[in-house]
Amino acid sequence: MTPPRTAKSAKSLGRPKRADQSAPTNDTIIRTASKLFMEHGYEPISLNQIAQLCNVTKASLYYHFANKAVLFTESLIWMLTVSRVNTEKLLEQAADIRSGLEKLALIKMSTPHMDFESMMRDAVPHLSEEQLARIRAAEEAIHDVLAHYFRQAIAAGQIRPANPLLLSHTLSALLMLGNRRHPADLFQSTPELAKAMVDLFWNGVAPE
């Protein structure tokens, strides 16, 4: 005779609640997907690849993220949010704006990634307007942080007056060159390249 199911065994049957299994798996998937998308772009990466690297089934991945566009959106927003928090912390702790920018450049150039705008151009046809707006808002939040510290540096007389947001976008565009092979090949080390990029941003091309 089959013993009756206890309350504990009955409760364990069936599909687990999302809250019971979300946090660790979500974090793993988002971190892995973020790294892959940033290194290779949207098109080359499949959900199968991400699932295999996370050691989960494709069905489990779909349980957490409805499709590739959703996962791309959430992983990029996570990455951009981490970048914003780290940028703010680094600049807040720096002795001055220039040393902070040099540390920021070194970190950015030490992490392999493809051109952000190129990646976004590939992804845009697959994203909804809402998803695109959320990614752009997370990206712009980083520029807002940089602009805040540029504004402080202008007020303190550390740099000449200029539009803080323009300075932020200019610096970001310049630092993207650090992940391209030919500029990187001109220097013996990443720290040398990072310093050269910040020097160019800081001094411009006018004669000393």
Does residue 157 lie in a domain region?
yes
Helical ranges in 94-163 per DSSP H: 97-109, 116-123, 129-155
Tell me the pLDDT tens digit for each residue of 53-102. 999 999 999 999 999 999 999 999 999 999 999 999 999 999 999 999 99
Tokens of 87: 């940028």
How many Cβ atoms sit within 10 Å of the Cβ of residue 141?
17
User: What's the CATH number where 171 sits?
Assistant: 1.10.357.10
Q: Has this prediction a pTM greater than 0.85? A: no
| Amino acid occupying residue 155 | A
Tokens of 7: 């309350």
Q: How much is the average pLDDT of 102-108? A: 92
Does residue 119 lie in a domain region?
yes
Per the structure, the count of domains in the chain is 1
**Full residue range of the structural domain in which residue 104 is found:** 68-203
Does residue 104 lie in a domain region?
yes
Does residue 39 lie in a domain region?
no
Tell me the pLDDT tens digit for each residue of 27-46. 999 999 999 999 999 999 99
pLDDT at 26 over 80: yes
- Please tell me what DSSP assigns to residue 208: -
Tokens of 144: 């807002």
- Please tell me what DSSP assigns to residue 112: -
Does residue 30 lie in a domain region?
no
Does residue 190 lie in a domain region?
yes
